[in-house]
Amino acid sequence: MKVLDLQSHGLLREQARSYRYVTGLKARGGSVGAGLPAKRAEQTTKIPLADHLADLAVEALIDEVDLSPKPGLVDRRSNGAHTDMTLALMHASALALWPCLRQMAEAAEAIGGVGQPLRTALGRIGREGEVAMLATTGGVNTHRGAIWALGLLVAACALGPHADPCAVAARAGRIALIDDPGATSEDSHGAHVRRRYGSGGAREQAQLGFPAVIAHGLPQLQRSRALGASETHARLDALLAIMAALADTCVLWRAGPQGLATVQQGARAVLDAGGSATLDGRRQLRLLDEHLLQLNASPGGAADLLAACLFLDKAGSL
């Protein structure tokens, strides 16, 4: 099993560290008391690669939902266009996915290469992870798309942890192209949208190697940082770049092609105004948020891909 020296990585939120520690303690038969502190990164500088990748993926999900102000999405200000989701629910859902993401990384390490055995294992683990998510959220689909995207990327990273983001995304795409023998006929919103509008959705994004992330999200994240934007503004700009390029099936489901055009044009308007760090950009961002709330549209696909973008950004330092 691969291990990583994490002395130089102060990456983990307290929730993720606590979740990993408590889960591991229970697995070893230990007791968990109210006064028991979470094991901190400086106390244990070497952890298995699979644990670290799961940590990074969960942190990316939490960073995505905490990012504010996001147009139409759950964040620290509001529930956006959602009546069934809250910030706390999104946090709980993200943490519930840690075992699933770790198991995907472990499967990739054990199998050792892209092929049918790995695809079969990832499909099974992903379905189990979805059951755990729905049990945590009371049946609300908070992160189904993220299980797909981050599960593939975590597995791709585990096969070669020192690869750059483009190579990891391309490897994830090769995995996604393989059929999952355990998959059942889809009846999801994304499947309905694909049939009605011909949009490829999350499946196509993965199979193509996440172009919305590699060609738009990550480059914008790096550009905004280089121009001196804060990390919050750089991440918002990355989200907007993804929104401007993505045929988001979540938006198509709620608001149709006209709603998608509103999302894409509004996101471009923010970036064209100088991004979320500028006064004009923030005005455009407020207008976009108002339009999305009027349409009851939420760019959930773009949010999942922002989490993938943040994961690849951090995993690139392994």
Asked if the model's pLDDT at residue 65 lies above 60, the reply is: yes
Percent of the chain with pLDDT over 90: 76
Mean pLDDT for the chain overall: 88
Asked if the model's pLDDT at residue 4 lies above 90, the reply is: no
If you average pLDDT over residues 256-264, what whole number do you get?
A: 95
Q: Which residues partner with 3 through β-bridges?
A: 48
67, 310, 10: which is closest to 165 by C-alpha?
310
pLDDT for 37 equals 40
If you average pLDDT over residues 123-143, what whole number do you get?
A: 97
pLDDT by residue (tens digit) across 239-252? Answer: 999 999 999 999 99
Query: How far apart are alpha carbons 21 and 109 in whole angstroms?
Result: 21
If you average pLDDT over residues 204-220, what whole number do you get?
A: 97
Asked if the model's pLDDT at residue 206 lies above 70, the reply is: yes
Query: How far apart are alpha carbons 205 and 190 in whole angstroms?
Result: 12
pLDDT band, very low/low/confident/very high, at 317 (cuts 50, 70, 90): low
pLDDT for 103 equals 98
291, 214, 220, 235: which is closest to 260 by C-alpha?
291
pLDDT band, very low/low/confident/very high, at 184 (cuts 50, 70, 90): confident
Structure tokens at 101: 């993401």
pLDDT band, very low/low/confident/very high, at 43 (cuts 50, 70, 90): very low
pTM, two decimals, is: 0.86
If you average pLDDT over residues 156-180, what whole number do you get?
A: 96
